[in-house]
Structure 1
Amino acid sequence: MMAGVVTAAAAQDTDLDELLGPTESAPTSQSAPAEAPAAADAAPAAATAEPAANAEAPVAVTAEAAPTEAVTTKPKRKSALLEEIVVTAQKREESLSEVPISIQAFSPDALAARGIDNQIGLSRAVPSLNVGSQAGYATIFLRGIGTEAFLTADPSIASYVDGVYFPFSPTFVSDFSGVERVEVLKGPQGTLFGRNAVGGAISVTSIAPSFEDRRTDIDLTVGNFGLVKPRVYANFPITSTFAANFSSYYAVSDSYLDSDSRTDGKPLRKQYDEGVRVRTRWQPFEQFEFLTGFTRTRNQNNGAIGQNINPSPLGRLLGIQPPDDPDNIQVNTRLYGRSETSLISTQANFYAPWLDIKVLASKQKDSLLYNYDFDGSTKPLVSFDVPGHPANIKQAELQLISNESQPYAKWLDVTGGVFLFHNIQGFNPVQLEVGDIVTPPEVQDLVDALLPDGLPGATVAGQLLAPGRAYRVQAEAQIKTISAGYYLQTTMRFTDWVALTLGARYQREDRGLHKSTVNLLVGTTDIGNQILNGPPISFQNARDGAGNIIPGRSVTTGFEPKVTLDFHPFLDETLLFASYQTAKKAHAYNAFAVYLPPQYIKPEDTTAYEVGLRTPLFDGLVQFNLAAFYYRIKNQQTQYVSLLSGGALAFENAPRSESKGIDFDLVTSILPDLIDGLGLSLNGAFIDAKFLRYPNAAGYDPRTGLFRANNDFTGNRQTRTPKFSGTVAVTKLWQLGDRNEVEAGADYYYNSGFYYSASNDPNYEQTKYGQLGAFTRYKYVPWNVDVRLYGKNLLDKFYTQGVISTDFGGVFSIAAPREFGAVLSWKF
């Protein structure tokens, strides 16, 4: 997710008057690279992912947000809410207050203070962000832009770790261990981050090795549900020019679901999550440095744990009843789930007199194995088994960044580059198994009603779903992508108070079917004792939504411009900006269809308009950020799941969509002349996102809950987008002499609710909910040891984090109930 530097710890140890006084912009170059401050100052793994409080309060502020304090002989520590942050949202180091983009950024201390330990936690810290998880896959929406097509299409929010793009949604939800900073860039980032960043980008930067600071940080978390989680971070300055660091974590716990939950009559499995990251840095001379990284993560959970909370009419006819307790999962399939990621990356930086040249390359292998109970019940109806869902990803990038030594640096910045990408991803194989449906005869009448004459595949589907039938499908379904992007962005400062940014990106993406084969067995006896018959069916062509044949390979090209005008109209650090930009998401294929050829969906285009304000108020006592935006989306890519849509999975485009709204964040110290270290953060987002035109939409009828291909969802609200969400957080820091430090905080997150389905069916709705989190921390300064007590969702509110809508009803993934625990940290 992106590279950059956060100097949060420095902000805490620097006198606030210095942070609020007139300052110059952060350097826009590394032509004489200094020691990475984060390696020495930013909190490492021990502080990044501590579940210290509910993950609900974003900090998208700079130190300008902090209030004025009287100067003392000793620098005062500040609340974790009040930070100075340097970002690289434009691929160069800049103060957040100078960047004309809507950003929220989080240091390790800010993450720890809110209990944010992965990307799902960010969804409660950034009010316009929704990060869901279902069937092992992440689904991300930001400001109303996202996609439900997560199986073999790409996310709409680009994700980066240390400059490496992560397109594989199952590996997106990872632990924030050894992290220096997390950035959330709102709105299309089509110029600099390009590929599929139609809704924004999430960037994680890990701590860089330091040549001077030998340190080790250890923490241990224990919590309810049997959680035990040790983590270690260490930095080793081996020579004056070579250094390495190491971070690792391991977590083991029981499921947070009811202890009486059963899959195939057996208790839920133990869960574990582990990861290790090793980075090296070699700088043989001042103008050159070479960095390498190796990351490996693995986890095992209870598979795609979900339960059918709202059975459809078909589900009820087949005997599925709503559960008495949604936390008590009872399904007939023995569930499992394992994912693994390995990543090797390199980066070479050459600091020429006028230009910084950076070359990045990486090779990434991902794998997801899981079993999913398609009907989400104790009935032996349908299961979905994925013994192989790999992704093999290679990418390289060349960045050319003008630096402060070039002769026009006072008024001109130029950034250009080339991005190359290669990926093979998909099911290899996947198995769909339908049991012997022998319950009421009304089922046949229902199937006949669902499959009118003229529906493609109706005869085959009718045979498959007829009472007394059973079938098993084994398929290989993989997509191959080769992509190249070329970008250029210039910022021209005409005066001290006005600047113009012009950018553009040309993208060419070649994508098509790599494998698409199906082997089918239809029988009337126990399919567990039968073998597949006949040779696999190999599909050569795909079809669009109108049934027209589309080649199994196609190319998307696009030229995406950006224009931003920003102003500094006053003597303080007030920034006003207005921007126009476009972004493109390439076409996609659904390679997994049982009785129909693979499907093709068109490229998705987003046009975005935004105005923003970032300003200190009341002589710097308050930092306030505000943005208003309007997005117009053409051919939004979406996905639905149904046995009657080709066998399991189908894609389509929503012709016209829009999202408009306002989001804001505010941070301040409260009564600084009377109370030291008391901080307040407040943020929220009002969003109106809807489908402007969506006729002939396939999905589930909002009146009957049954699948059909001719719905009209025009005017419906976009999925996973609440009308309002926001957070309020308060922290207080006490310094008890030179040896003791105490900090406490609480935060509350509110979500007005949203629909999971484009049909806006209330059976697939997350109703409004709120979450309360709190923490308290004691630190013994001489030993650099602290103990943190935390609580999340303290009011024990029920809510969900994802759903897969099926013919049998909504199979919901249940979010965690009340969590609490303690973290012991030692830094030496």
Structure 2
Amino acid sequence: MRLWLRTASSAVLATLCAGGSALAQDNNTLDQVIVTATKSTATLQEVPLSITAVKGETLQAQGVNRFQDLTGTIPNFTVSQSPISDVISMRGINSDLQAAGEQAVATFVDGVYRGRGVQSRFAFLDMGSLEVVRGPQGTLFGKNTVGGALNINSARPSAVFDGSISAGYEFEQGETEVLGFITGPVSDRLRVRAGFQYNEMKDGWVDNSYYDEAQPRYTNWAGRLSAEADLSANAKLFARYDHSDFDTKGNPIEIIHLGGALAPLLTSLGVDGDIDGKARQGNSSPFLDLGSAFVMDGGTDELMARLDWRTPIGEWTTIAAYSGYDFLRAFDADLGPLDVLQVKQDEKYEQYSLESRISFAAIGKVRPLAGVYLQQSQLDNDGWTYANTVPLGAPFPPLNRFGRFQQESKLWAIFGQATIDLTDKLEATGGLRYASEKKDALQEITLTNATTGGPLPAPVLAALANAVLEATPHVLRPSSKENDTSWSANLRWKPTDEASFYVSAAHSTLGGGFNAAYFGTGGARPGETADQYQQRMLREIAYRPEKATSYEIGAKLRFGGNAELNAAIFHVNYDDIQTSQFTGGTSYVVGNAAAARARGLELDGRWRPVDELTLNAAIGYIDFEYTDYKNAGCTVAQIAAGGYANGALCSAAGVNDLTGRTNQITPEWTVSFGVRWVKPIGDYQLTVDGQANYVDQFYGAQDLDPQTLQKAVTKVNLLVGVGPRDRDWVLDLVVRNLTNERTFQTANDVPLATGSYFATIERPRSVALRLRVNF
């Protein structure tokens, strides 16, 4: 770690020192990075926010085509995969895993909110730019941005004919990727663009001997059509339509540790309990067998239009959009070779939104902005859990737990912001947003005989089903209404054209809601009436909004055009943190931790000492601590020691007090160092792009179980490309995770196998050959 810090720090210091010689060099100027996170166009150096911004063509050139590839390269930002959804973490705050929850880090594509993980599967499709905006962003972006926001701009149609196609093959896992675009004018006022992306993986990185297949295997494709029209000299209309389909078989899951009563049985069935790229997962009975350990099939659609209209009082922008998806997912939920559990989910989501805002022309020294936002969404999720406990010695037939969750949300908000020029070098900005959201839901649980589909015939059998499936039949109709205010304020000082400094504060919320996976509490308590029992369940199914208040100081520095440094120091207070705790059986408990605080720093810099060479470095440090979290989810050792029937009861008893501890998937240090060298050789040029990324140790589970600790690791990526200097074509060799490090991001208890643990394994070394043709 010390070596890494010295290396990265030296690179950043070199950036600082580069300013002395920069003025003497004219051919090695860094490109200015343009961002739109403030709802206006500005350079990265002008924005008083902690932002990492990169062009889409840069990501494509580096072979980056998914969010997971960015982990370690961006300070205090990680994206990982779990069996349920992607987990986005920024400054120590993670996304909610249960079906009804919103992301704590929101994604926006062309201003359209994508709050659910499935919506962002193809966020890199024909991307123009990516902005990772850290810290609460409630004023301009809205709710559900307590961790930050991912602001993505699609590539726009061009008035000049242009196009590109890229085809590559990865040799280690057998992945084929084809992507490209074509754009050009239809008339003087109309421009169009089409983009596409296709991925097929035949041989994943975990060999599942149960089905004699490597997993994951998938076929994904996405397409985009967009058009931009000049309606008049002062009005412009942009519209696009996206569609995607995905079909996945198998998950990169391994049981990484064996323990408890079932360990001998699992060992005898071929489970080794190591991170070695081997798994034995599946079901053999016709009742549970899927033909694969995991299957998921679905698609997404998004249609949006944006109107920009310059008027005498300012520029008016209106964005109207529809975004939706549907999928069917099923998997072997015991994660091993036992014919015990299968989970099946059918989910559909639709969202309609409208934003209209005006950036007023300057009124003296004041530049105001005001807007309104409307959103309506509908979520439908049906889930089945089939339990065949005969292999475990249970004297009753297979059981089925059916859960239905339906939720309608209606949200409206008004917001405003104003920037005041206090002097020619000092400006102050303040903003406010008021939002109101109403949610109405239906949540239903039934238990049946999975073989016949009929009801459970006896109270004893019902009690056994409750013990195995942790569920009590019920029908609930929860509703909520939230009114919240987000605000932001900053002071920016620009003493020279190449230096600016800022201080800022902001407050934002993550909307409350209902636990779609709430299964009841074992029935009414002694002396509890039916109405009291119903009211208690309505309280238990709900969780409160999460709140974040941040304070930040930062600097944006440029040195003669060929070097730059961005720095930020932050402190964030979180209240009512939303948590999702696995019980160790077959369910999750969703609620609120009391409070936490996070503090740290982010540094990133670039230096181009000569035209052929560019160096970059980034450092992220975070000290995250729960200041009050007495009812955290329990480890299996704590559950066993206390004799609790399940993790929910242990959590309620306050056994695992995580006050003073960190959060899951929160590495203390992330360090990145990169070198890009472009060498002309006659009419051709050679490109070498190397990146080394260090990620500190972290826990993969919410309960911070020691068995889920991922050790610190360094991963190296390398790209070597050759092609003509006019870049008509480029042939690249792309190697990611050069030293073949075996790591995981999320981990947890194996359902019903107390003492054993599983993890979602990250992709090991990949070696791809790719040809890009530009025309």
Q: Any stretches of 5+ residues in structure 2 without a counterpart?
A: 1-10, 284-291, 463-474, 522-536, 641-645
Identity across the alignment (%)? 20
Distance 1:270 1:725, change over 3 A: closer
- Give me the whole-angstrom Cα distance separating, in 1, the residues matched to 2:216 and 2:550: 45
TM-superposed CA distance for 1:326, in Å, is 3.9
Corresponding residue SS for 2:59 = helix
Q: In 2, are the aligned partners of 1:170 and 1:339 still within 8 Å (CA)?
A: no
1:363 to 284, 306, 322: 322
Corresponding residue SS for 2:660 = coil
* 1:30-429 aligned within 5 A: 68=22, 76=27, 82-174=30-122, 176-210=124-158, 212-224=159-171, 225-258=173-206, 260-262=207-209, 268=215, 270-311=217-258, 313=260, 315-316=262-263, 319=266, 322-324=272-274, 326-333=276-283, 334=292, 335-386=294-345, 388-403=346-361, 406=362, 408=364, 411-427=365-381, 429=382
Corresponding residue SS for 1:110 = helix
TM-superposed CA distance for 1:595, in Å, is 3.8
Residue type at the aligned position of 2:604: D
Which residue does 1:661 correspond to in 2?
600
- Give me the whole-angstrom Cα distance separating, in 2, the residues matched to 1:761 and 1:728: 31
Q: In 2, are the aligned partners of 1:140 and 1:147 still within 8 Å (CA)?
A: yes
Distance 1:312 1:395, change over 3 A: farther
- Give me the whole-angstrom Cα distance separating, in 2, the residues matched to 1:282 and 1:631: 43
The alignment status of 1:686 with 2:621, answered yes or no, reads yes
Q: In 2, are the aligned partners of 1:299 and 1:338 still within 8 Å (CA)?
A: yes
- Give me the whole-angstrom Cα distance separating, in 1, the residues matched to 2:221 and 2:258: 36
Corresponding residue SS for 1:192 = helix
Distance 1:747 1:467, change over 3 A: farther
Which residue does 1:26 correspond to in 2?
none
Q: In 1, are the aligned partners of 2:166 and 2:180 still within 8 Å (CA)?
A: yes
Which residue does 1:780 correspond to in 2?
724
1:636 to 577, 588, 591: 577
TM-superposed CA distance for 1:322, in Å, is 4.3
Q: CA RMSD in A?
A: 2.7
User: What do residues 77-130 of structure 1 show as CA deviations (whole Å, max 9, x unaligned)?
Assistant: 77xxx4311111100001111110111000134313432212222223212101
2:481 to 540, 555, 576: 555
1:697 to 614, 629, 632: 632
Residue type at the aligned position of 1:261: N
Which residue does 2:568 correspond to in 1?
627
- Give me the whole-angstrom Cα distance separating, in 1, the residues matched to 2:81 and 2:454: 33
Residue type at the aligned position of 2:325: D
Which residue does 1:450 correspond to in 2?
none
- Give me the whole-angstrom Cα distance separating, in 1, the residues matched to 2:126 and 2:558: 31
Q: In 2, are the aligned partners of 1:246 and 1:277 still within 8 Å (CA)?
A: yes
Q: Could you state the TM-score of these two structures normalised by the residue count of structure 1?
A: 0.80
Residue type at the aligned position of 1:328: K
TM-superposed CA distance for 1:245, in Å, is 0.3
The alignment status of 1:726 with 2:671, answered yes or no, reads yes
Q: In 1, are the aligned partners of 2:573 and 2:596 still within 8 Å (CA)?
A: yes
Corresponding residue SS for 2:231 = strand
User: What do residues 355-408 of structure 1 show as CA deviations (whole Å, max 9, x unaligned)?
Assistant: 11111111112123222222211112222111x1111111111121124xx453
Q: In 1, are the aligned partners of 2:444 and 2:476 still within 8 Å (CA)?
A: no
Residue type at the aligned position of 1:399: R
User: What do residues 301-333 of structure 1 show as CA deviations (whole Å, max 9, x unaligned)?
Assistant: 224442322345365376465434541121124
1:583 to 508, 533, 541: 508
Q: In 2, are the aligned partners of 1:305 and 1:372 still within 8 Å (CA)?
A: no
TM-superposed CA distance for 1:175, in Å, is 5.3
Q: In 2, are the aligned partners of 1:375 and 1:811 still within 8 Å (CA)?
A: no
Residue type at the aligned position of 2:543: I
How many residue pairs are counted as aligned between the two chains?
703
User: What do residues 696-751 of structure 1 show as CA deviations (whole Å, max 9, x unaligned)?
Assistant: 233335556772222322122111110101100011112335x3222112110011
Residue type at the aligned position of 1:824: L
User: What do residues 279-307 of structure 1 show as CA deviations (whole Å, max 9, x unaligned)?
Assistant: 01111311111121100111112244423
- Give me the whole-angstrom Cα distance separating, in 2, the residues matched to 1:512 and 1:534: 30
2:690 to 732, 736, 746: 746
Task: Identify the range of structure 1 (756-765 vs 201-210) with the bigger mean alpha-carbon deviation.
Answer: 756-765
Corresponding residue SS for 2:739 = coil
Residue type at the aligned position of 1:530: T
Q: In 2, are the aligned partners of 1:152 and 1:426 still within 8 Å (CA)?
A: no
TM-superposed CA distance for 1:266, in Å, is 6.0
Corresponding residue SS for 2:139 = coil
Distance 1:66 1:194, change over 3 A: farther
Distance 1:653 1:263, change over 3 A: farther
The alignment status of 1:518 with 2:440, answered yes or no, reads no
Q: In 2, are the aligned partners of 1:289 and 1:348 still within 8 Å (CA)?
A: yes
TM-superposed CA distance for 1:827, in Å, is 1.2
Distance 1:565 1:207, change over 3 A: same
User: What do residues 588-643 of structure 1 show as CA deviations (whole Å, max 9, x unaligned)?
Assistant: 101333344461101111111111111124x5553111111111110100112336
- Give me the whole-angstrom Cα distance separating, in 2, the residues matched to 1:650 and 1:193: 29
Corresponding residue SS for 1:92 = coil
TM-superposed CA distance for 1:550, in Å, is 9.8
Corresponding residue SS for 2:634 = strand
Distance 1:209 1:338, change over 3 A: same
2:407 to 472, 479, 482: 479
Which residue does 2:708 correspond to in 1?
764
Residue type at the aligned position of 1:241: R
Which residue does 1:802 correspond to in 2?
746
Residue type at the aligned position of 2:336: S
Residue type at the aligned position of 2:552: E
- Give me the whole-angstrom Cα distance separating, in 2, the residues matched to 1:262 and 1:417: 56
User: What do residues 441-483 of structure 1 show as CA deviations (whole Å, max 9, x unaligned)?
Assistant: xxxxxxxxxxxxxxxxxxxxxxxxx665642112211222111
- Give me the whole-angstrom Cα distance separating, in 2, the residues matched to 1:324 and 1:611: 44
Residue type at the aligned position of 1:695: K
The alignment status of 1:605 with 2:547, answered yes or no, reads yes
Distance 1:775 1:319, change over 3 A: closer
Q: In 1, are the aligned partners of 2:174 and 2:204 still within 8 Å (CA)?
A: no
Corresponding residue SS for 1:112 = helix
- Give me the whole-angstrom Cα distance separating, in 2, the residues matched to 1:184 and 1:793: 23
Which residue does 2:533 correspond to in 1?
none
TM-superposed CA distance for 1:432, in Å, is 0.5
- Give me the whole-angstrom Cα distance separating, in 2, the residues matched to 1:77 and 1:779: 21
Q: In 2, are the aligned partners of 1:136 and 1:303 still within 8 Å (CA)?
A: no
- Give me the whole-angstrom Cα distance separating, in 2, the residues matched to 1:364 and 1:94: 28
TM-superposed CA distance for 1:797, in Å, is 0.1
Residue type at the aligned position of 1:493: D
- Give me the whole-angstrom Cα distance separating, in 2, the residues matched to 1:99 and 1:163: 18
* 1:508-547 aligned within 5 A: 508-513=436-441, 515-522=442-449, 527=450, 529-533=451-455
TM-superposed CA distance for 1:269, in Å, is 7.1
Q: In 2, are the aligned partners of 1:171 and 1:339 still within 8 Å (CA)?
A: no
Residue type at the aligned position of 2:357: Q
- Give me the whole-angstrom Cα distance separating, in 2, the residues matched to 1:349 and 1:264: 54
Residue type at the aligned position of 1:715: G
- Give me the whole-angstrom Cα distance separating, in 1, the residues matched to 2:20 and 2:417: 32
Residue type at the aligned position of 1:500: A
Corresponding residue SS for 1:121 = helix
Which residue does 1:431 correspond to in 2?
384
